[in-house]
Structure 1
Amino acid sequence: MTAPVSTPPSPDSADSWEEVGVRLEVEGELAVVTLCHPKRRNAQTPAMWRALAAVGRELPGTVRVVLLRAEGLSFSAGLDRAMFSPEGIPGELGFTALAAAPDQQLDGYIAEFQEAFTWWRRSDLITVAAVQGHAVGAGFQLALACDLRICALDAKFSMRETSLGLVPDLAGTKPLTDLVGYGRALEICATGRDVTAEEAAAIGLANLAVPNEELDTAARELAAALLAAPRNAVIETKALLQGAGGRSYDEQRSAERAAQARRLRDLAGLGD
């Protein structure tokens, strides 16, 4: 019988978030989430994922736009390679322990990891990733978790999981396929190659590619533009676009009519 294994509790304070590489700053309707372990190229750990999930739970309801950025030369070099070693990361489950867990328990661990990547597409938020340097594996998937991406000209996206005998499992395969199509998504994942900033912008993976020194300014300008529109109109528009892929043309027209009726009534003071 396999012995049960457990994971550490979720961090519950901003100080503990920063210790594991995540900083949250709230500026009115804008929240800035910063990956802040630049000396480690913002390599990701389960502790960082728990902190990111906690940030999503603790965001004030007044926040409308979230900007995800990173300190240092790299956005994120992906999963901390210590996870692959026999010793693992102190206090965390290594790959061997994860593999030995019963099916349901293993599924639960991966689902917990995914929580750090799923809240970014909430209907009440618009999220923007500002990416410089390497966005590898889990780093690539964290950028994909956001609604929009701006990248510096030195950015390189790569999905290395398949090259390591794994699969991308941090909620990145759906947005990647939606953005670039099945064939290109398969090629990017199966080869693990680098996607440059110029290619990312050309294929729709990035909304904009800018010189490195302009990245922070461009991301802030986009956040300001997103905040300029009325919140409820943005929420309704995001919902329409998110659902468009699963609706027929006529179904989408119907959804537009219903959304517009809500907006008209709200603007006229006739809403619920």
Structure 2
Amino acid sequence: MTSSSPSADNGWIRTSRDGAVLTVTLDRADQLNAQTPATWLTLADVGASLDDDVRVVVLRGEGRSFSAGLDRSLFSAQPSTDGGLGELGRMPAEQAQERIRAYQAGFRWLRSPGIVSVAAVQGHAIGAGAQLALACDLRVLADDASLRLPEATLGLVPDLTGTSTLMELVGYSRAMEICLTGRAVKAPEAQALGLANVVVGAADLDATVADLVAALTAPPVEASRATAALIRSAVRNDFAAQDAAERAAQVQRLHALVTGS
């Protein structure tokens, strides 16, 4: 097993690797795993460094909450040089958008080809925290978990990939309502809406995630990756395109099984 240590420079991100499973932990429990721009840039670096042997990425938060979102010190509209909202608001628009693009990369890689990502969520998942959980393929929630996207109520918008991932999971009208009201979606409702794959007692969260990871890594790797790719493409494809994708993937799998290559 390999691991890395958290610090302010890497946004309090800790990683550990056990074979085909990479665990990424937000390790700032005393601040409810509040995130900074360094968090997002480090997450992007983690995604860029993946090798082909990684099959599952587990994303978790240390302590009693998954993540309370953006570090409150960065909300100030006053001038700053620390990546806060004040700095972004004073940049030329194109430069600010490029900065946000770099932050978004820390979230978008969690749907990368070749991996399945699992968020283990307990306690608060607010703003950037909720968007990080939504960025994953699957979510296991403790029964005390609560997801919230309050950006609009603060005069902002969700900008860390959250609008597309939420819309994909719950549909147009529900995504509109959740984002515009900024209300909390608690674990039972999250499961009913499809935001949570399963809800368990907080004491069972780790074991449930471990069982899920074991199930995800059980199928042959190439078949698993081809199936995941089909599920992802089904979100965008019409029926004809998706049927064609299934045909092509199946022929490739059959050829590999018959020829051994």
Using the size of structure 1 for normalisation, the TM-score is 0.90
Q: Is the 8 A contact 2:6 2:27 kept in 1?
A: no
1:262 aligned onto 2:252: yes
Secondary structure, counterpart of 2:244 in structure 1: helix
Aligned-partner residue type, residue 127 of structure 1: S
Q: Which amino acid aligns with 2:84?
A: G
Native 8 Å contact 1:17 1:51 kept in 2: no
1:232 to 222, 226, 244: 222
Per the TM alignment, residue 246 of structure 1 is displaced from its structure 2 partner at its CA by: 2.1
Residues in 2 aligned to 1:245 and 1:145: alpha-carbon distance in whole angstroms: 15
Structure 1 letter corresponding to 2:146: K
SS in 1 for 2:204: helix
| Match of residue 109 from structure 1 | 99
1:164 aligned partner, one-letter code: L
Match of 2:17 in 1: 26
CA deviation digits over 1:60-91, x for unaligned, max 9? 331100111111111000011111125677x5
Q: Deviations over 1:148-205 (max 9, x none)?
A: 0000000000001011011100011111101100000010000010101000011101
Question: Equivalents in 1 of 2:7, 2:239: separation in Å?
Answer: 44
Residue in structure 2 matching 1:216, options 197, 201, 206 = 206
Partner of residue 27 from structure 2, selected from 9, 18, 36: 36
- Cα contact 1:68–1:130 (8 A) shared by 2: yes
- Write out aligned runs for 1:150-169 (5 A): 150-169=140-159
Specify the alignment match of 2:59 in structure 1: 68
Letter in 1 for 2:50: L
Tell me if the contact between 1:82 and 1:88 (Cα under 8 Å) persists in the aligned partners.
no
Q: Partners of 1:244 and 1:17 in 2: how far apart?
A: 39
Paired with 1:227 and 1:253, the residues of 2 have a C-alpha distance of 26
1:270, CA displacement in angstroms?
6.0
Partner AA of 2:110 in structure 1:
W
Q: Counterparts of 1:39 and 1:16 in 2: how far apart (Å)?
A: 13
TM-aligned CA deviation for residue 33 of structure 1: 0.7
Flag structure 2 segments of 5+ consecutive residues without an equivalent. Answer: none
**Paired AA for residue 40 in structure 2:** W
Q: Does 1:193 align with 2:183?
A: yes
Aligned position for 1:7: none
Q: 1:23 to 1:85 in 2, by over 3 A?
A: same
> How far did 1:241 drift?
1.0
Deviations 1:17-53 (A, max 9, x none): 5763111100001111111100000001001111111
Deviation at 1:59, TM superposition (A): 2.6
Q: What amino acid is the match of 1:77?
A: A
Q: In terms of mean alpha carbon deviation, does 222-231 or 232-241 score higher?
A: 232-241
Are the equivalent residues in 2 in contact too, given 1:23–1:34 (CA < 8 A)? yes
Matched position secondary structure for 2:70: coil
Verify the 8 A CA contact 2:66 2:123 in the aligned structure 1: yes
Amino acid at match of 2:109: W
Give RMSD over aligned pairs: 1.7
Query: Alignment partner of 2:259: what SS?
Result: coil
Note the C-alpha offset of 1:244.
1.0
TM-score (norm 2): 0.94
Distance 1:69 1:94, change over 3 A: closer
Residue 16 of structure 1 deviates from its aligned partner by 5.8
Q: Does the 8 A contact of 1:99 with 1:106 survive in 2?
A: yes
Counterpart among 202, 206, 211 of residue 196 in structure 2: 206
Structure 1 position 47 matched with structure 2 position 70: no
Of 97, 110, 117, 1:127 maps to 117
Select between 245-254 and 104-113 the one with higher mean Cα deviation: 245-254
Q: CA deviation at 1:96?
A: 2.1
Structure 2 residue identity aligned to 1:232: E
Shift of the alpha carbon at 1:223?
A: 0.5
Code of the aligned partner of 2:198: L
* Unaligned residue ranges in structure 1 (runs of 5+): 1-12
